[in-house]
Amino acid sequence: MNETISLLQNHSSVRKFENKPLLEEQVTDIFKSANQASSFSLLQAVSIIRITDQETRKKIQKLCADQPYITEASEFWIFCSDFNRNHQIAPEVDLTYTEFLQIGVFDAALMAQNALTAAESMGLGGVFIGAVRLNIEEMTELLDLPEYVTPIAGLCIGHPKKEKNPIKPRLPQSVVMHENKYEPLNLSAINEYDEEMKKYYENRPVRAPFTVRTVKGWSDHIQDHLERSILPNMLNHLNTQGYARK
């Protein structure tokens, strides 16, 4: 196992940070690493909003279910699907097709993961914040996002305050990787994974509204989280921003 594979396989989220800023060269290196991620046909349909104003961060924290690490982390970046630049260059192209949203989301995810991996390679840590979409209309207004721009995920980056959490177990390869065609769900493997997750959560304290509240298996967690993740105004927001009309 080489150093890169070891880094990737030992990832765990960090939610407690030292009150210590990043060096600007670290910020630049993390950005350059993110910016070099693969991009669909080099459309580069992503913008990063770096939140340096503390009052703005406090407002964002409130919009994101009051998750404290948004203001505690050294850096907070919001990755957006952005076809506004492309629209200005090629205004005659109809960008309201759903495919463009999919491209922007995929590119934003690649850049965000590159950023976190780069940060972890420096001994830093981070956690993604999907709740930037929780109050998406207010978030869009706060960030002054124009048409064809929508927030996808936030990223806290900073110096870990304590040792990282143990590595959270993932679904086994037999469940996630299909061969040649989509295969039926292996329920026995899911049951084994549920037991593994129960053991993990027995030793992990509950911290935030969007983490598992009680010791439970993965299947119970999925039932609970899917119900809480429905954002009924999302399609209206996307249509307002020029996305997913067709």
pLDDT one-digit tens code per residue, 53-112: 999 999 999 999 999 999 999 999 999 999 999 999 999 999 999 999 999 999 999 999
> 165: which DSSP letter?
P
Among residues 51, 102, 104, the alpha carbon closest in space to that of 77 is found at 51
Whole-angstrom distance, CA of residue 34 vs CA of residue 22: 16
Q: How many CB atoms lie within 10 A of CB 67?
A: 23
Q: Using CA atoms, how far apart are residues 114 and 38, in angstroms rounded to an integer?
A: 10
DSSP at 215 = S
Q: What is the dihedral of CA 154, 11, 69, 112, to 10 degrees?
A: -10
Rounded to whole angstroms, how far apart are CA atoms 191 and 188? 5
Looking at the DSSP bridge assignments, the partners of residue 150 are 81
Residue 13 DSSP class: -
Under 8 Å between Cβ of 63 and 138: yes
Per-residue model confidence as pLDDT tens for the chain (246 residues):
899 999 999 999 999 999 999 999 999 999 999 999 999 999 999 999 999 999 999 999 999 999 999 999 999 999 999 999 999 999 999 999 999 999 999 999 999 999 999 999 999 999 999 999 999 999 999 999 999 999 999 999 999 998 778 899 999 999 999 999 999 999 999 999 999 999 888 876 555 555 545 667 899 888 888 888 888 899 999 999 999 999
What's the confidence (pLDDT) of residue 223? 84
> 3-state SS of 90-109?
CCCCCCCCHHHHHHHHHHHH
Amino acid sitting at position 2: N
Given a contact cutoff of 8 angstroms between Cβ atoms, the answer to whether 49 and 205 are in contact is no
Alpha helices (H) along the chain = 3-9, 24-35, 54-63, 69-72, 84-89, 98-121, 136-143, 173-176, 187-202, 218-228, 234-240
What pLDDT score does 205 carry?
Answer: 57
- Return the pLDDT at 11: 94
Neighbours of 159 (CB within 10 A): 18
DSSP H or E run through 76: strand 75-82
